[in-house]
A and B are shown apart, each in its own frame.
Chain A
Amino acid sequence: AQSVSQHNHHVILSEAASLELGCNYSYGGTVNLFWYVQYPGQHLQLLLKYFSGDPLVKGIKGFEAEFIKSKFSFNLRKPSVQWSDTAEYFCAVNPSGTYKYIFGTGTRLKVLA
């Protein structure tokens, strides 16, 4: 069955620290990949997406993600986090040509001021 794994369930960082959140998926075909963010009390918002082309994708608020096909991974990175990045982050996989998104269980990030 298709699945998405986010190995870090809770991450605590100090401001200005670098961030990397892992995302691995199990699906053999072509996929579209997404990172969504949910700030406290708010709805899920699209952070960035990968469809094709350059495997290094840049999103909003200084986030980026790299698609490594051989590792079935799409890790999220930010060089220097801010207190306002405190949120829950979800990786999602969409097998190309389909409409379903398969979400990971999320990673709760807390950034200490």
Chain B
Amino acid sequence: GAGVSQTPSNKVTEKGKYVELRCDPISGHTALYWYRQSLGQGPEFLIYFQGTGAADDSGLPNDRFFAVRPEGSVSTLKIQRTERGDSAVYLCASSEGTGDYGYTFGSGTRLTVV
């Protein structure tokens, strides 16, 4: 596609529920990133995929968070047993290569846990 697409744009869920957030990167971009932006903060790194593999998941806050990219394009960020502190905007970005190329961000998914 022309840009990075994220769905849903907004998600409200109850505490304890499971959610999935989807990212469809720019076609041909091998690198995919998930960031989280809490209110009043800049985006914070969660996980980086190169192709199908998670090359670095050091930013995932705990084992309730997991992400996959099974075919090297679309990625899904999964959050189990959601907590109110998980409320944030989850941003996906993709790039042709790493770092030097510059990211293209999606519009994000605003997750609200009530």
Contact = CB atoms under 8 A, between A and B. Distances in A.
Nearest to A9: B40
Contact of A98 (B4, B44, B98): B98
Interface of B: 4, 31, 33, 35, 40-45, 48, 55-56, 91, 98-100, 102-108
Given A44-B91, A99-B48, A100-B48, A90 B43 contact: yes
Given A43-B106, A90-B42, A99-B98, 12 more contacts: A4-B42, A43-B4, A46-B104, A95-B99, A96-B99, A99-B33, A100-B45, A100-B56, A100-B99, A103-B35, A103-B42, A106-B41
Interface in A30-57: 32, 34, 36, 42-46, 49, 51
Contacts of B99: 32, 94-101
Nearest to A104: B42
B75 to A, nearest CB: 15
A103 B35 CA distance: 10
B102 A49 contact: yes
B29 to A, nearest CB: 12
Give the interface SS of chain B, mostly helix, strand, loop or mixed: loop
B31 A44 contact: no
Contacts of A42: 107
Interface of A: 4, 32, 34, 36, 42-46, 49, 51, 90, 92, 94-106
A4 B99 CA distance: 16
B100 A44 contact: no
Contacts of A100: 45, 48, 56, 99
A43 B105 contact: yes
Contacts of A101: 35, 43, 45, 99, 103
A36 B104 CA distance: 10
Contacts of A36: 105
A51 B100 contact: yes
Given A44-B91, A44-B105, A103 B44 contact: yes
B41 A105 contact: yes
Contacts of B107: 42-43
Contacts of A95: 99
